[in-house]
């Protein structure tokens, strides 16, 4: 009966195509300083999350190669069986130090981390309160947990407080979920205020700092926006963005990390990361710890761009330019590619209907002259395309 399966897939694809929502994979070979080779063209990328260009850093690549030579290409089993090679502990200690926590646990990816952590902490009879623009994998982890999940309007503390006042007493535990730096909008969560709200209602705050580590709070992430560490007991993040490699993590107290190591199903039932991947992340986090001036560059570059276009000051290295319909965002992206700039269009369902956008990201190695050329091109040709 594969006929009906293929018919189903073909019809579904045609419907996506008609809505401009069909996705395609395009080979993109990235090189140093934001260069990316795509379909025979050398482009300058303004859409990588490799904010510190650490994926290309010679010391990071060397660490990966050395560890692979020494320990092999794969971990061979889950961490709880025999996959826990000796590099994990060093990386976890380094992450805990950077984030100001007692301990840390490394997962296969950020997505896997959220799918594992949340169900290990809450379940039926508990409440999850999540910001409306939380990353898809936070919400997926919440659904997997079977806790009651209520969404509060993006960054509206008053709405979150109202839900807690009305509903908190019905539930045993309560977990508040938010991105620290929002992945598609580049704005920041009010972390300190959310922490205070959580305290008042005996709730546990978990931040997804995928886009915070390495680039805000002096490189220590969104819990350190005001210098001192905010009262965030669960700091989750990924090793795949500013850290430049692959993997996910949770930084928390010793008992929480021990619980997660025993109960997070995506840790227990999934193979450990290869030694080369862990060694690369360890070297990259060491660079983040020791080179705060590098960590300040992506935001400074993003601000050069927003100031050049008279947009509100960038709050992170992510700058969205909302254009409206999906086809307009696609056309704008194609235009920029023709000019040598790689900037991808972000469309529904990743972002709400009618808010398709170009999502610009800025990296430490971008040259100011290239940013200025981008500003001029966007001002002249892209801003006039806006339908919002």
Ligand X SMILES: *Cc1c(COP(=O)(O)O)cnc(C)c1O
| 126 lines the binding site for ligand X (CB under 6 A) | no
Q: Going residue by residue from 197 to 216, which x/- string records binding to ligand X, judged by CB under 6 A? A: -----------x-xx-----
Tell me 274's DSSP state: P
Give yes or no for residue 111 binding ligand X (CB under 6 A): yes
Name the catalytic one among 183, 222, 223, 333. Answer: 183
Q: How many residues bind ligand X (CB under 6 A)?
A: 13
3-class secondary-structure state, position 82: helix
State the minimum distance, in angstroms, from the CB of residue 128 to ligand X: 16
- The interface mask with ligand X, positions 235-274, x = CB under 6 A, is ---x-x-------x--------------------------
Q: Catalytic: 183?
A: yes
Closest separation in Å from C-beta 11 to ligand X: 30
State which of residues 34, 83, 110, 272 lies at the interface with ligand X (CB under 6 A): 110
Does residue 221 contact residue 227 with C-beta atoms inside 8 Å? no
347 touching ligand X, by CB under 6 A? no
Among 57, 99, 135, 241, the one annotated catalytic: 241
CB 112 within 8 A of CB 78: no
Long-range contacts at 341-347 (CB < 8 A, ≥ 24 apart): 341/43, 341/44, 341/46, 341/374, 341/377, 342/28, 342/36, 342/38, 342/43, 342/44, 342/45, 342/46, 342/47, 343/46, 343/47, 344/47, 346/184, 346/320, 347/20, 347/21
User: Which residues have C-beta within 8 Å of that of residue 12, sequence separation ≥ 6?
Assistant: none
Q: Of 94, 135, 220, 347, which lies in the binding site for ligand X, with binding defined by CB under 6 A? A: 135
Neighbours of 22 (CB within 10 A): 12
Which of residues 75 and 382 has its CB atom nearest to ligand X in the complex?
75
By CB under 6 A, name the binding residues for ligand X.
109-111, 135, 137, 179, 183, 208, 210-211, 238, 240, 248
Tell me which residues are annotated as active site: 183, 211, 241
């Amino acid at each position: 009966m594969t006929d009906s399966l293929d018919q189903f897939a073909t019809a579904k694809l045609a419907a996506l195509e008609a809505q401009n929502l069909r996705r395609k994979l395009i080979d993109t070979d990235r090189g140093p300083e934001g260069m990316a080779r795509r379909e025979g063209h050398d482009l300058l990328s303004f859409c990588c999350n490799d904010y510190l260009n650490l994926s290309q850093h010679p010391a990071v690549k060397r660490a990966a190669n050395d560890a692979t030579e020494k320990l092999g290409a794969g971990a061979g089993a889950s961490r709880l069986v025999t996959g826990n090679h000796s590099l994990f502990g060093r990386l976890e200690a380094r992450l805990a130090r950077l984030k100001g926590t007692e301990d840390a646990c490394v997962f296969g990816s950020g997505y896997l981390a959220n799918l594992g952590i949340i169900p290990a902490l809450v379940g039926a009879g508990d409440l999850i309160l999540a910001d409306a623009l939380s990353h898809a994998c936070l919400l997926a982890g919440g659904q997997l947990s079977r806790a009651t999940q209520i969404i509060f309007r993006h960054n509206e503390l008053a709405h979150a407080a109202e839900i807690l006042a009305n509903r908190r007493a019905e539930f045993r535990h309560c977990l508040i979920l938010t991105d620290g730096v929002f992945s598609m909008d580049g704005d920041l969560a009010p972390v300190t205020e959310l922490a205070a709200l959580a305290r008042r209602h005996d709730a546990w705050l978990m931040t997804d700092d995928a886009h915070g580590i390495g680039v805000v709070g002096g490189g220590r992430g969104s819990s350190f926006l005001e210098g001192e560490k905010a009262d965030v007991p669960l700091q989750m993040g990924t090793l795949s963005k500013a850290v430049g490699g692959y993997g996910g993590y949770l930084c928390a107290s010793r008992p929480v990390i021990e619980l997660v190591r025993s109960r997070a199903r995506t840790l227990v039932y999934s193979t450990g990361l290869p030694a080369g991947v862990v060694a690369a992340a360890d070297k990259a986090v060491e660079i983040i710890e020791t080179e705060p001036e590098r960590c300040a560059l992506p935001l400074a570059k993003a601000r050069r761009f927003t100031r050049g276009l008279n947009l509100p000051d960038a709050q992170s290295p992510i700058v969205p330019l909302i254009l409206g319909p999906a086809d307009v965002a696609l056309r704008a992206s194609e235009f920029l590619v023709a000019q040598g700039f790689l900037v991808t269009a972000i469309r529904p369902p990743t972002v709400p209907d009618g808010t398709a956008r170009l999502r610009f990201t800025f990296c430490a190695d971008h040259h100011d002259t290239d940013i200025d050329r981008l500003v001029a091109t966007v001002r002249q040709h892209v801003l006039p395309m806006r339908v919002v």
